């Protein structure tokens, strides 16, 4: 593996050398902060739904960078858009606008179904988008925000304050205050928590990090009614679910949510197809002006290259019918896994190509390792749940290779968990 660049009329090698996966991991442990532990593999290239590691092994990527590589790896349109943009204008400060930024905002508002007067704030990640939404809630002048048990909204201080996982929160307390947690999916609890002091309710249409738990039918509609009654914002975190992941542009657009129109939607991950892109979509003129001039910012948010990437993703999803593909292949994959009848599989939760295989025993970590050894990348969102969030270009035939291998993977996981 060698990276080269043209400089002064000739090719100049960048300081990247070949090496085995183990050699790269040893270098990693000496140079990179250990916030994520030891890497499972060192990946060196990808194409479509497959990636290869430093030792030449191929894997079917059923995690997609955690719901991020929406077009798969090295998608020609995304590569062309980013490359072309870099040859013209790579970055400008936020004292200036660029054509890709404006066009990207317009298209994002269109697919979100946002009404006239809506607006977009661009960030670089889902966490940053949720930080901005938290600040919008503060701008209402009300002191309280309501989130849910099992929620994950990010790891920076504001986003972490909205996140319920104690292991993430405890080392960094005290966190920004005023956040109250209620059981996810419990309309009664939400109704009791929201009052005239509530600035906003933050909800995920599907709780991804909590094991792919979809909101019950009627829950988002009830949340909309409750927040509207008290003049509070309804903020939907679609960082994992947005941009076609569940078969709609956004999960809240699923008919089972009864036409809910939120006040704010946060989105990232699949929006850039692997290029760091995040956004806040504020619905309507009031919400679009909650953050005024000088009250928030981002050096790289709305960067021309990131905007070109986002435009390419939105175009490809529409052009190639990837909303329908997510629905069709997701249903196929779900039905095929459930049809196995394996004793370790309790069922499959989720929507589109965001699925959680619920296990009867807490052996998710063992399933991940057994799958990896057989050439499949998956993730244990919880000890009893294996998460699948593959590229939206996944085919039914590719999904079937995983389903065929799954019984042996599960059997190996059970053996590995036996004392």
| Binding residue ranges for pyridoxal 5'-phosphate | 126-127, 152, 237-240, 299
Nearest alpha-carbon partner for 378 in 347, 413, 326: 413
- Name beta bridge partners: 207: 213
Residues of each annotated binding site: 126-127, 152, 155, 237-240, 298-299
User: Cβ distance 281 to 109 under 8 Å?
Assistant: yes
How far is CA 357 from each of CA 190, 364, 395, rounded to the nearest angstrom? 28, 9, 19
Instruction: Say how far apart CA 273 and CA 284 lie, in whole Å.
Output: 27
Structure token pair of residue 395: 């085919």
- Mention every residue, 6+ apart, whose C-beta is less than 8 A from residue 173: none
Q: With H, G, I as helix, E, B as strand and everything else as coil, classify residue 54.
A: coil
Residues of each annotated binding site for N(2)-acetyl-L-ornithine: 155, 298
- Mention every residue, 6+ apart, whose C-beta is less than 8 A from residue 292: none
Regarding beta strands 385-388 and 354-359, do their DSSP bridges make them parallel or antiparallel, or are they unpaired? antiparallel
Per-residue burial over 83-115, b if 16 or more Cβ lie within 10 Å, else e, is eebeeeeeeeeeeeebebbeebbebbbebbebe
- Mention every residue, 6+ apart, whose C-beta is less than 8 A from residue 167: none
Regarding beta strands 264-267 and 278-282, do their DSSP bridges make them parallel or antiparallel, or are they unpaired? antiparallel
């Amino acid at each position: 593996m060698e990276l080269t660049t043209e400089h002064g009329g000739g090719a100049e090698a960048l300081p990247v050398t070949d090496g085995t996966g183990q050699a790269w991991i040893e270098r990693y442990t000496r140079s990179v902060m250990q916030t994520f532990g030891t890497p499972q593999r060192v990946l060196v290239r990808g194409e479509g739904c497959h990636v290869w590691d430093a030792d030449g092994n191929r894997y079917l990527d059923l995690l997609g960078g955690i719901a991020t590589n929406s077009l798969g790896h090295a998608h020609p349109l995304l590569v062309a858009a980013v490359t072309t943009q870099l040859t013209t204008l790579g970055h400008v400060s936020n004292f200036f606008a660029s054509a890709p930024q404006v066009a990207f905002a317009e298209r994002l508002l269109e697919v979100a179904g946002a009404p006239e007067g809506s607006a977009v704030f661009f960030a670089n990640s889902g966490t940053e988008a949720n930080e901005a939404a938290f600040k919008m809630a503060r701008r209402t002048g009300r002191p309280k925000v309501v989130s849910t048990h099992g929620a994950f909204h990010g790891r920076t201080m504001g986003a972490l304050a909205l996140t319920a996982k104690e292991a993430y929160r405890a080392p960094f307390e005290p966190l920004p205050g005023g956040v109250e947690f209620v059981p996810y999916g419990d309309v009664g609890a939400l109704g009791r928590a929201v009052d005239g002091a509530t600035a906003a309710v933050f909800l995920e249409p599907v709780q991804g990090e909590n094991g792919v738990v979809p909101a019950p039918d009627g829950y988002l509609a009830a949340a909309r009614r409750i927040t509207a009654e008290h003049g509070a914002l309804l903020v939907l975190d679609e960082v994992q679910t947005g941009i076609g992941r569940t078969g709609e542009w956004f999960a809240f657009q699923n008919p089972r949510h009864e036409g809910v129109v939120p006040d704010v939607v946060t989105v990232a991950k699949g929006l850039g197809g692997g290029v760091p892109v995040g956004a806040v979509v504020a619905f309507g003129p009031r919400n679009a002006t909650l953050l005024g001039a000088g009250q928030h910012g981002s050096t790289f948010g709305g960067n021309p290259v990131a905007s070109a990437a986002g435009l390419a993703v939105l175009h490809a999803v529409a052009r190639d019918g990837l909303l329908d593909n997510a629905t069709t292949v997701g249903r196929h994959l779900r039905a095929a896994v459930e049809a196995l009848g394996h004793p370790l599989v309790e069922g499959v939760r989720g929507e589109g190509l965001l699925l959680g295989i619920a296990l009867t025993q807490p052996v998710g970590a063992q399933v991940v390792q057994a799958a990896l050894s057989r050439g499949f990348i998956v993730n244990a969102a919880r000890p009893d749940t294996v998460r699948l969030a593959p590229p939206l270009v996944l085919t039914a035939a590719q999904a079937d290779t995983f389903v065929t291998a799954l019984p042996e993977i599960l059997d190996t996981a059970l053996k590995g968990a036996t004392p």
